Amino acid sequence: MATTKENAREAILLAAREAAMARGYGGINFRDLAATVGIKAASINYYFANKALLGEAVARRYWEDIARDLEEISEKAKSPAEALRQYPGIFRASLERGNRMCLSSFMAAEHDGLPAPVLKEVQAFADVNVAWLSRQLVAAGLGDPDSVDGRARAIYGAVAGAQILARSRSDVAVFDALIESYCKAGPLLT
């Protein structure tokens, strides 16, 4: 069973993740997080000495969680092509949860203000997505390992961009329409 300290650390990470998905790295505020978790703001420093360390941990956990989600899609999909079709659903799910946005997309937009360790984890999210998409494209017979990276990056960029546009309108239907358009014209599969 998890200890109280582990539970508090996890609660802080979850609250910080939600704050970052709603307001980006700039939205991570120890006082607000403490109120959400039900602890004193100074107590957060016991787990994370500063905002940069917390941001790094949140961004790392985020891409690790998404990597597991992507592998689950791979395992459950009937084919790599079906896995590729399911991919936008990960981004759609954030929009469905209070018009949230991919934490890494939000933080990537804050590039100039991010500490280097946080930026490294944000970039790892993109790398995980592109690597998974590349594997699926190869497995679906849509290219060889040396030629699919560009298409994988285009898919990642298109889906992340669709999420940004939908969020700006607070309308998941905008995301769905863009994904449908991408399926018809590329780079996504129909």
Q: How far is CA 186 from the centre of its chain?
A: 22
pLDDT tens for each residue of 74-132: 999 999 999 999 999 999 999 999 898 888 888 888 899 999 999 999 999 999 999 99
Cα separation values, 174 from 85, 101, 165, 171, 178, Å: 17, 14, 7, 6, 6
Which CATH number applies to 57-185? 1.10.357.10
Q: What is the pLDDT of residue 3?
A: 45
Average pLDDT of the chain is 92
Tokens 């969680």 found at? 65
What is the C-alpha to C-alpha distance for residues 65 and 105, in angstroms, rounded to an integer?
Answer: 15
| pLDDT average, residue stretch 168-180 | 96
Q: What is the pLDDT of residue 189?
A: 67
Residues 133-146 pLDDT 10s: 999 999 999 999 99
pLDDT attached to residue 104: 87
CA 25/CA 12 separation, integer angstroms: 14
Give the pLDDT mean for 18-34. 93
- The residue extents of the domains of the chain are 57-185
Residue type (1 letter), 94: S
pLDDT interval class at 2 (50, 70, 90): very low
Q: What pLDDT was estimated at residue 1?
A: 37
